[in-house]
């Protein structure tokens, strides 16, 4: 973290990255002293409501984050910045996205958890757009110009006000990772009476095993367990509110709908109480580790991998065969994972994989046959990207 005082002293001359979070209510003009070099600016977690009209003098700026600020509209000045590729306004108070506020070179746009009811027709000018995060808004329909987004690969539309599945998405040739649960057109959540329901008081939580956007995973002891299942389990306690992918309740619903498979983290039971929603899962053996790493600011929608990571051709074929079996299982259950990535896969020394993280999953059994087929095509594109990544790690 940087400080405004150090910026004023000139400590950051020549800096390419700057992050300021000091409850700022006005844009610090001292940032302009870095105009010749600044490429990444993060002003998240402040009290800003606007940007000055001369903000565009930051001509080298490629990435701008302003999440958790009380902006009510995306600042118009951003549309004048020809190098700006990544823009983030998560959890602000944005109601308006005007026709001229987004630069044509935008590749990655984050507008999660705002109050946006409509997107401008000008969104269709963003032909370089690859990743679009819109979960947790009030969008009722997509503009017809969405058809121009031929490079769009990842889209989050969950937790909006869409009355019908947007048919226009089926025309996008590269869309591979889609989340749309939690809209009025979606099927209601299932009660999952086929799974044991557990009382929260019957779990003793121990150490934290992991944390994601939707909740905290801990090791737990299941007391009063009369179901013949393991007493030592993992428990994911879901947070309230919106994540970047949608509602945590939809994640829980999708996990239980999909059920068990040898290459999925095994669901055992769930908690469904007014102040607690949680999923009990089988503990993952300690020898499993992440297959991939999340996309970087540069790779945008494609996974990254650790330096030197490699597989033999036989290992790669085995990994791919397992993932194909998982996708076939998901199709049988009519659930789209929406986030089929290597970074959501665990692997052990025998190349056995466990796939998880259903935060972007969506049920689609209620849609038309043509829509269902289109969603399966998207998921198969994600599978093709996954296979390409794995085969790219093969040593000869």
Q: Give alpha helix (H) positions in the chain.
A: 4-9, 248-258, 313-333, 369-391
List % helix, strand, coil for the chain (3-state, nearest 5): 25, 20, 55
Give CA separation, 73 vs 117, 123, 219, in Å: 12, 15, 43
Place of tokens 């947070």: 239
- Structure tokens, 22: 């000091």
Work out the angle between the directed axes of helices 313-333 and 248-258 (0-180°, nearest 10). 100
* Beta partners for residue 278, in sequence order: 237, 271
What is the torsion angle, in degrees rounded to the nearest 10, for the CA atoms of residue 104, residue 77, residue 244 and residue 150?
Answer: -10
What's the CA gap between 215 and 222, in Å, rounded? 19
What is the rounded end-to-end Cα distance, in angstroms, of the chain?
44
Max Cα separation, the chain? 67
* Closest by CA position to 303, among listed 390, 211, 210: 390
Residue 96 CA to chain centroid, in angstroms? 22
Check residue 327 and report its DSSP letter.
Answer: H
Listed in order, strand segments (DSSP E) in 174-293 are: 177-179, 196-197, 203-211, 215-222, 232-238, 267-273, 276-282, 289-290
- 236: annotated binding-site residue? yes
Residues with Cβ < 8 Å from 152, sequence gap 6 or more? 129, 130, 131, 132, 172, 174, 175
Question: Which residues fall in the annotated binding site for ATP?
Answer: 236
**Residues of the binding site:** 236
């Amino acid at each position: 973290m940087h400080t405004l005082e150090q910026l004023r002293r000139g400590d950051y001359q020549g800096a390419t990255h700057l992050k300021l979070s000091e409850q700022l209510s006005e844009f610090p003009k001292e940032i302009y002293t870095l105009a010749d070099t600044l490429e990444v600016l993060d002003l998240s977690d402040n009290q800003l409501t606007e940007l000055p009209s001369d903000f565009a003098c930051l001509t080298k700026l490629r990435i701008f984050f302003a999440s958790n600020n009380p902006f009510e509209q995306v600042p118009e000045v951003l549309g004048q910045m020809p190098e700006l590729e990544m823009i983030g306004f998560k959890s602000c108070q944005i109601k308006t996205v005007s026709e001229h506020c987004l630069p044509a070179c935008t590749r990655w746009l984050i507008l999660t958890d705002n109050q946006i009811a409509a997107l401008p027709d000008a969104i269709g000018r963003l032909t370089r757009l690859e990743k679009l995060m819109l979960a947790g808004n009030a969008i009722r329909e997509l503009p017809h110009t969405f058809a121009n987004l031929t490079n769009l690969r990842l889209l989050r539309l969950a937790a909006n006000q869409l009355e019908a599945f947007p048919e226009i998405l089926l025309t996008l040739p590269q869309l591979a990772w889609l989340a749309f649960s939690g809209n009025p057109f979606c099927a209601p959540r299932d009660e999952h009476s086929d799974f044991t329901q557990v009382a929260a008081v019957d779990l003793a939580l121990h150490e934290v095993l992991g944390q994601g956007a939707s909740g905290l995973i801990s090791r737990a002891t299941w007391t009063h367990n009369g179901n013949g299942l393991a007493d030592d389990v993992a428990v994911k306690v879901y947070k309230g509110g919106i994540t970047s992918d949608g509602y945590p309740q939809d994640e829980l619903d999708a996990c239980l709908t999909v059920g068990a498979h040898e290459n999925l983290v095994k669901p055992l039971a769930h908690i469904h109480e007014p102040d607690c929603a949680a999923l009990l899962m089988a503990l993952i053996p300690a020898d499993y580790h992440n297959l991939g790493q999340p996309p970087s600011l540069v790779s945008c929608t494609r996974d990254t991998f650790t330096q030197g990571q490699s597989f033999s051709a036989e290992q790669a074929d085995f990994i791919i065969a397992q993932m194909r079996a998982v996708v076939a299982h998901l199709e049988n259950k009519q659930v789209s994972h929406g986030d089929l990535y290597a970074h959501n896969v665990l692997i052990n020394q025998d190349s056995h994989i466990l796939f998880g993280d259903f935060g972007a999953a969506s049920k689609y059994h209620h849609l038309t046959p043509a829509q269902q087929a289109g969603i399966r095509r998207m998921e198969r594109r994600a599978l093709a990207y996954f296979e390409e990544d794995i085969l790219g790690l093969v040593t000869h």
